[in-house]
Amino acid sequence: MRLLFLACLSPQTGNCTTAERIRDHIERAGHVCLLRDTRDVRCASDVAHLQRETALDGALAIHLYKAGRLLLDAGVPFGVVFGGTDINEDAKDEGKRAVMKEVLNRARFAVSFSKELKEKAEAILECGSGQICVQAQGIETRPSLDFSWMEFLRSAGVCVDGVEDLKVFLLVCGLRRVKDPLYLLNAFSEWHTQNPLAILIIIGPKMDLEFSTEVQKCVERSAGVFLAAERSQEELHAAMQRSLAVVNSSQSEGMSAAVLEAMDLGVPVLARNIPGNAAIVRHGITGLLFSCPEEFVCLSKQLLHDKELRASLGRNGTRYVTQHHSAALERTTYQRLVATLH
């Protein structure tokens, strides 16, 4: 089959990584998968143009509203994958919610990354329990062997004198408001004045240019907080490995690939206590959950001084990802679902 696959493909983002991984699953089954960015396919007529050019047999979309709506008039069977934005943000708008309901009703299949997201979608979109299947994200990490930790720190503006003593907390996110990278700045800076070896590095692509400028200005005024440009997945994974912990401070998440990747690498995670994070992080077992900046600092201090806790969280996190986020199982699921589009 020749399939069109629509997704938000901002480089070095979780959406992009997920889409590329699913495309690989589909192509390994012998199909042709045309992955396109929703920024380049903006309306149904663009999809119709692609259909005339390539004679599509089916389609797939990540995000029911952002991408799925473009397939309603495509004239080919399609499937959809829920993103966190669908339920946590777009469903709040009555007009968008109506479109999402239509997309879900017409899709051959729909995939949710977690049971919690599925249940929330069923309640909000008023659909039957059989319409959405659950398939957790499959995780594979490949840290770069040529990565230079010293160069990485220097590029972020960190003084590398005594680099071996630095305690780096790595906040991985695209720079947009829902990821809330400024949430911890004041509390972390205050802690840094007490412990200059503790630093926070925010790393990710500039997805909202106006907000990215705001983040840059705030970081420049905040002691102990630095901003790093996005890196390839392999380089990012290598940076995670060398960090004391990986941080997530989002206001909402579907399922954070960065959190799961850190767990797979055996790196402790400190995640904001929101439903998307709480679905994959068991507090004190596979990671630590915080509900406010002050609690984050308290837990960070505990993590910093408790080597046994760090080791335990790392081991348990890796075990959890191995058991529940198998890339092989994810591949089998998508190949089976795509076969229903024939």
Measured distance CA(31)–CA(165) in Å, rounded: 50
Contact 52, 23 (CB under 8 A): no
- 130 pLDDT band (50/70/90 cuts)? confident
Contact 254, 88 (CB under 8 A): yes
pLDDT of residue 12: 65
Both tokens assigned to 46: 């663009």
pLDDT (tens digit, 9 = 90+) per residue, 273-322?
A: 998 899 899 999 999 999 999 999 999 999 999 999 999 999 999 999 99
Q: Is 189 a residue whose pLDDT tops 80?
A: yes
Average pLDDT, rounded, for the chain? 93
- 149 pLDDT band (50/70/90 cuts)? very high
| Least confident among 11-15, 136-140, 190-194 | 11-15
Average pLDDT over residues 237-243: 97
Measured distance CA(109)–CA(247) in Å, rounded: 33
Q: State whether residue 69 is helix, strand or coil.
A: helix
Q: 253 versus 336: which is more confidently predicted? A: 336
Q: Is 163 a residue whose pLDDT tops 80?
A: no
pLDDT (tens digit, 9 = 90+) per residue, 85-113?
A: 888 888 889 999 999 999 999 999 999 99
Both tokens assigned to 330: 């994810």
Q: Is 243 a residue whose pLDDT tops 80?
A: yes
List of domains in the chain: 2-138+326-339 (3.40.50.2000), 149-324 (3.40.50.2000)
Helices (H) then strands (E): counts for the chain: 14, 12
Phi-psi region of 136 (alpha: psi -120 to 50; beta: other; left: phi over 0): beta
Average pLDDT over residues 63-84: 91
Partners of residue 80 on adjacent β-strands:
61, 110
Please report, rounded to a whole number, the percentage of residues in the chain having pLDDT higher than 70.
99
> Angle CA(274)–CA(250)–CA(155) in degrees, nearest 5?
145
pLDDT of residue 40: 87
Long-range pairs for 26-29: beta carbons < 8 A, 24 or more residues apart? 26/60, 26/334, 26/335, 26/338, 28/331, 28/335, 29/335, 29/338, 29/339
Average pLDDT over residues 182-199: 97
- 45 pLDDT band (50/70/90 cuts)? confident
